Amino acid sequence: MGSDTSRAGQWVEISKSLSARHHLYVDQTGLAKVDIDYEKLAQIYRSCAQAAKQAKMIDLLKALNHLQASALETAGHYEEAIAILNSMHRLAGSAPLIDMARCQCKMGEMHAAIATLDQLLCTLEEHTHIQLTQIDNEVEKKEEQSKPKQFNIQAASLALRDLAEVMNSRGLKYFLVSGTLLGYVREGQLLSHDKDIDVGLIGWENQYDMCMALQETGLFTVGSEFLRGHKSYYIPIRHNATGMWIDVFIYHMIGEKMVTGVDFFFGYRQTFAFTPFALKEIEFMGVKMYAPENAELNLEENFGNWRVPDPSYISHLESPSTVDKGGLPFMLTARLSAIAAMVQGKEAKLGKVLELMRAHQSRPASMSQELIDSLEKRCHEMSHPREMAHAA
């Protein structure tokens, strides 16, 4: 008995050590690192889980199963990961559904992923066990638990100035886009409610020179897994001193439009098309930078009425530049946005998603009328909590 107890204790210590280091193996991108054997990592987690099961340590077993599924997903063994998550779903409720949907999406089964997210939306409760950052990672791309909720303009300004100095020294013409361009044009400064810095680069060939220049300075960290040649549309860069993220969007000339996109860590891409533009040199925060020459048209295509602030704006869904509104990538983003809005208690954003879902009910993978009605009721509850409490 003592020997069994001792072995169980050893497995518990191994489990704690592995789980504490898991973020080093699988970060918020979910992309595989070249020096890690994820199949072996999954096997170790399975062994730990078996020991936890024998010791009847149910909470530890659930955690280890989740880590095993994460390792299998990163290794590309999606069906095995889904099998584990499905068994967890029966025991742990709705929490594993987001991971199941992500695996389905990475397998190319977007309809199945959307159906799973609708199942999650049906069961999502106010006190859900799904971590807020787990949802935000899919919609906002890289939120971290330790990241402050309020945008740090001072840190973002330092990161952008450092980027400008490196790029200017190499003759690389990056330019302000999206919310960063909006802040420059409309307010003459970075937006206080922004989440990161957005810049663009024309031509996928330039990504290598840019990343080499940034890495050599030691000021930035760039993941090599994002360098995908002509398939690159989006490269996140981290400013080491501040921890600030800079999203670099690669613009491709496709037909008569300049097209860029977001590669969601959920395993799909959403694209956005703009009227072609030349670049003009500007001065922002005392540093030379570049912006689209037709900045106002670019902002109109990105935000619509960009002159009026809209804190609840959902760029991936509402932007006039969004390609194939109502298509599968659009429908996936809508579900993820709805989940995030519910978890965060943002009724205005949830209302916008539901309005869009009503408008696209004739499209494949549309949201059912029953689910829309149910979520609209939840949206009303979020808007009028006192009224609903009194009614109860």
Question: Considering the chain, what percentage of its residues have pLDDT values greater than 90?
Answer: 60
pLDDT at 283: 94
Residue 285: φ, ψ to 5°: 60, 35
The pLDDT score that the predictor gives to residue 129 is 46
pLDDT tens figures, 264-297: 889 999 999 999 999 999 999 889 999 999 999 9
Question: Taking 70 as the threshold, does the pLDDT of residue 67 lie above it?
Answer: yes
Query: What's the average model confidence in pLDDT over 296-306?
Result: 96
Q: How far apart are CA 330 and CA 85, in angstroms?
A: 25
Q: What is the mean pLDDT of residues 117-121?
A: 94
Q: What is the pLDDT of residues 195-223, one digit of tens each?
A: 889 999 999 888 999 999 998 999 998 87
* Confidence bin at 193 (pLDDT 50/70/90): confident
Higher-confidence position of 353 and 192: 353
Rounded Cα distance, 111 and 364, in Å: 9
Specify the pLDDT at position 288. 94
Residues 20-49, mean pLDDT to the nearest whole number? 87
At residue 392, does pLDDT exceed 50? no
The pLDDT-based confidence of 92 (bands split at 50, 70, 90) is: low
Output 348-353 pairs: Cβ under 8 A, ≥24 positions apart. Answer: 348/311, 348/312, 349/312, 349/314, 350/375, 350/378, 350/379, 350/382, 351/376, 351/379, 352/312, 352/314, 352/317, 352/318, 353/314, 353/317
Confidence of residue 3 (pLDDT cuts 50, 70, 90): low
Instruction: Say which range, 28-42, 229-243, 265-279, has the weakest mean pLDDT.
Output: 28-42
19-33, 189-203, 224-238: lowest mean pLDDT where? 19-33
pLDDT of residue 125: 54
Give me the pLDDT at residue 384, please. Answer: 65
Amino acid at 339: I
Which is more confident, 89 or 271?
271
Of 100 and 27, the structure prediction assigns the larger pLDDT to: 100
The residue extents of the domains of the chain are 2-92, 103-130+325-392, 153-323
The CATH architecture that domain 153-323 belongs to is 2-Layer Sandwich (3.30)
Q: What's the mean pLDDT in 65-70?
A: 93
Task: Tell me the DSSP string of 341-363.
Answer: HHHHT-HHHHHHHHHHHHHTTTS
Rounded-to-integer distance, Cα 153 and Cα 190, Å: 7
As a whole number, mean pLDDT of residues 340-344 equals 89
Return all residues near 324 (Cβ < 8 A) that are at least 6 apart: 271, 330
- Nearest C-alpha neighbor of 114 from the set 233, 234, 262, 268: 268
- Which DSSP symbol is given to 368? P
Rounded average pLDDT over 32-50: 90
- Model confidence pLDDT, tens digit, residues 139-160: 444 333 334 456 788 999 999 9
What is the mean pLDDT of the segment spanning 181-204? 91
Interhelix angle 2-25/58-75, rounded to 10 degrees, is 40
